[in-house]
Amino acid sequence: MAIVFQPTEGLTKKPLHYCPGCNHGIIHRIIAETLVEMGLLDDAIGVASVGCTYNSYEYFSCDFVQAAHGRAPAVATGIKRTHKDKVVFTYQGDGDLASIGTAEIIHAAARGEKICAFFVNNAVYGMTSGQMAPTTLLGQVTTTSPFGRDASYQGYPINVSELISNLTGAVYVERVCVTDYKNIMNAKKAIRKAFECQLSGKGFAFVEFLSTCPTNWGKEPVEAMDWLKEKMIPQYPLGCFKGADVDFTKADENEEVKS
């Protein structure tokens, strides 16, 4: 018998501290697998953020810098400008990227920084115990929207991928989820394409992962996956918002980035 699946060398052996069923583990793994498959592990520098993934640097076996809350795109800018031949990516949650770090992510995208931002959107603050996030759905109950998010009181969820895709500097933007085998394979393709985008030097790449937070949603892991499909995807439709038709592995300077 041959091994058809085993833990990736892109991750360390350290057991993940995430709650049972949390999607971070899947997303970590497929990013790490992609780095290994593309032969980029030794050239990659990741940037961890603040929230549940604050210590993701302990799990990835590439070099990693831990950044202040929301500042990962700025930190990644400093790293990438220093090492232009390396592959630099951020790993950020919704509080980090879509709330406190909105300026950093928007401007990194606008500058067309040659980095990848991996955005994990689970519609809630995980680490700090389930507060309302910028991406919390209308009607969703959190510890700071205990009566359900009310648009007249707490405003509307932010669709970050759509927002980012409006910026010229962002050349590849896709939203994926990891609820099942097919979607995980699709998410992996998106990760690969994001790295290919960076290697092509064409600009900023952004992949949004819809994710569950069983603990703070108060749901069993499998039930949370169903909730994601039923409730989150209507608000946050999956798909490629920019760069769908571009093959970043081809060095065609005249190729237009279609939105």
Partner 1 sequence: MAQKRVLMKGNEVIAEAALRAGCRNYFGYPITPQTEVMHYMAKKMVQIGGNFVQAESEVSAINMVYGAAAAGARVLTSSSSPGISLKQEGISYIAGAELPAVVVNIVRAGPGLGGIQPAQGDYFQATKGGGHGDYRNIVIAPASVQELYELTVEAFNLADKYRMLVMILGDGTLGQMMEPVAFRDVEPIEVYDKPWACTGRGDRKEHNTITSIYIDPDTLEVKNRELQDKYALVTANEVRYEAFGLEDAEIVITAFSTCSRISKNVIRQAAELGIKVGMIRPITLWPFPSQIISETAAKSNVKAFLDVELNAGQMVEDVRLAVNGQKPVYFHGRMGGNLPTQKEILDKIIEIHNGGNN
Partner 2 sequence: MAKVTFNDDLCKGCGLCVNACPRKILALEKVRLNTKGYHPAVCVDPDSCVGCAFCAVQCPDSAITVER
Which one among 137, 225, 238, 246 touches partner 2, defined by CB under 8 A? Answer: 225
**Eight-state DSSP code of residue 16:** P
217 binds partner 2 (CB under 8 A): no
- Sign (positive/negative) of CA torsion 236, 178, 230, 139? negative
Pair 68, 96: CB distance under 8 Å: no
Of residues 48 and 124, the one with the C-beta less far from partner 1: 48
Fill in the per-residue mask, 92 to 131: x = in contact with partner 1 (CB under 8 A), - = not in contact: -----------xx-xx---x--------------------
Contacts of 66 (CB under 8 A, 6+ apart): 47, 48, 54, 55, 57
127 binds partner 2 (CB under 8 A): no
234 binds partner 2 (CB under 8 A): no
- Sign (positive/negative) of CA torsion 134, 53, 88, 38? negative
Token pair for residue 1?
């018998």
Of residues 111 and 219, the one with the C-beta less far from partner 2: 219
Tell me the closest approach of the beta carbon of residue 96 to partner 1, in angstroms: 13
Token pair for residue 33?
């697998």
Token pair for residue 162?
């759509």
Closest CA to 169 of 118, 115, 110, 116: 110
Pair 241, 151: CB distance under 8 Å: no
Task: Return the residues of window 162-181 that contact partner 2 according to CB under 8 A.
Answer: 180-181
Cβ-count burial 36-45 (b if 16+ within 10 Å, e if not): bebebbebbb
Considering only the C-alpha atoms of the chain, give the largest distance between any 2 of them, rounded to a whole number of Å: 60
The binder of 251, among partner 1, partner 2, none, by C-beta within 5 to 8 A per type, is none
Of residues 26 and 232, the one with the C-beta less far from partner 2: 26
Fill in the per-residue mask, 178 to 207: x = in contact with partner 2 (CB under 8 A), - = not in contact: --xx--xx----------------------
The binder of 4, among partner 1, partner 2, none, by C-beta within 5 to 8 A per type, is partner 2
Positions that interact with partner 2 (CB under 8 A): 1-8, 11, 15-16, 18-26, 29, 180-181, 184-185, 214, 220-222, 225
Positions that interact with partner 1 (CB under 8 A): 12, 41-45, 47-48, 54-55, 57-58, 60-68, 71, 74-83, 86-87, 103-104, 106-107, 111
